[in-house]
Amino acid sequence: MVALLLQPAFWELSQWQWRRLHQRETYNSVIVRNQALEPVMIDEAVSSNPTKITIDGNFEWRRIDVIGSWLTSKQVLVRKRTYESNLGFWVITPFKATSGLTILVNRGWIAASDSALSTPAVQNPPAGTVEILGRTRIVSVRTKPRPTDLPTGQVDGVHPDEVLPATRHVSNAYLELTASSPESRTSDLQSIPAPEVTEGPHRSYALQWIFFAIMTIIGWGVLVRKELQNRDENTTPTDVK
C-alpha cells in the first residue's frame, strides 16, 4: 500500500525535474542567441523614463559597445565570489560613456587576501578614452538590508543605485568585460568566464524518479508474491481418506 501511495509523489518529482530541464533549455537558447548577435552601442540598448535608465531584460548576455572613460574613484569590490574554487572579489569599475551615461563594469576577478577584512589593491585601468565590449547582465533586486559593517571599498553585490547615487546611470544592469582598447583588464585580474551552456542534472534526476517509481512497484510485487508463497507453505493440507 505504501508503494502505491508513493507513486504520485515520484511522478510529481519527475515532472518537476522535466520542467526545470525545459526552463534551462529555454535559458540556454537565449544565451546562445544573444551572444551570437552583433554588439550594439549602449545608447541603442537603454531606455529611460523620468526616474530610471534601464536595459531591457531581452538584452541579457548580448554584447554592448561603449566608448568613454573609467571612473576608478568609484570602484568597488564584490565579496565572496569564486573562481576555480578560490575565494575572491569581482572588481566593479564604473564606466562613463561619452554621452554622459555611466554603467558598472565587471573588469574581472581578484583573489582575496589572507584576512577577510583586507581589501586587495587593484591595478587601475588606462586613463583617457577607452572603447570596451561587455556582456550584459541584469541585476537582481536587493531582498535583504544593505550591510553596514563591510570594509571600505567592499560591497555584497552589484547594485548600481548604491554604487552610483545621484549619477545618470544604468540602474538595472552591468557589463562583464570581454574586450577593450586599450586593454583594461590588468594583469592582476582573471577574466569572467562566458556562461556555461549545459542542461544540468535535471534530465538524470527526472529519469531517476521514474526509476524509483518502477522499482517501488517491482519491489511491492516481489513482497506480495513472497507473502503468498509463505502463506501457502504454512497452510496444513487436509488429509485425504
Average pLDDT of the residues in 112-135? 91
Sequence letter at residue 98: T
The most confident of 39-43, 112-116, 194-198, by mean pLDDT: 39-43
pLDDT in the model for residue 229: 75
What does the alpha-carbon distance between residue 177 and residue 37 come to, in Å, rounded to a whole number?
17
Is residue 241 scored above 50 in pLDDT? Answer: no
Q: Kind and range of the H or E element at 20?
A: helix 2-36
Looking at the DSSP bridge assignments, the partners of residue 87 are 82
pLDDT in the model for residue 118: 86
**Predicted TM-score (pTM) of this structure:** 0.77
Radius of gyration of the chain (CA): 28
Mean pLDDT across the chain, nearest whole number?
Answer: 86
Q: Could you write out the DSSP letters of every residue in 169-227?
A: EEEEEEEEEEEEES--S-TT-BPPPPPP---TTHHHHHHHHHHHHHHHHHHHHHHHHHH
Q: Could you write out the DSSP letters of every residue in 88-112?
A: EEEEEEEEEETTS-EEEEEEEEEE-
Locate all alpha helices (DSSP H) within 37-60, ordered by sequence: 42-45
Where do the domains of the chain lie? 2-20+202-233, 37-181
DSSP 3-state of 114: coil
Using pLDDT thresholds of 50, 70 and 90, give the confidence band for residue 62.
very high
Using pLDDT thresholds of 50, 70 and 90, give the confidence band for residue 91.
very high
Average pLDDT of the residues in 169-189? 96
Higher pLDDT: 202 or 109? It is: 109
Is residue 1 scored above 60 in pLDDT? Answer: no
Whole-Å CA distances, 131 to 69, 184, 189, 192 = 8, 9, 19, 18
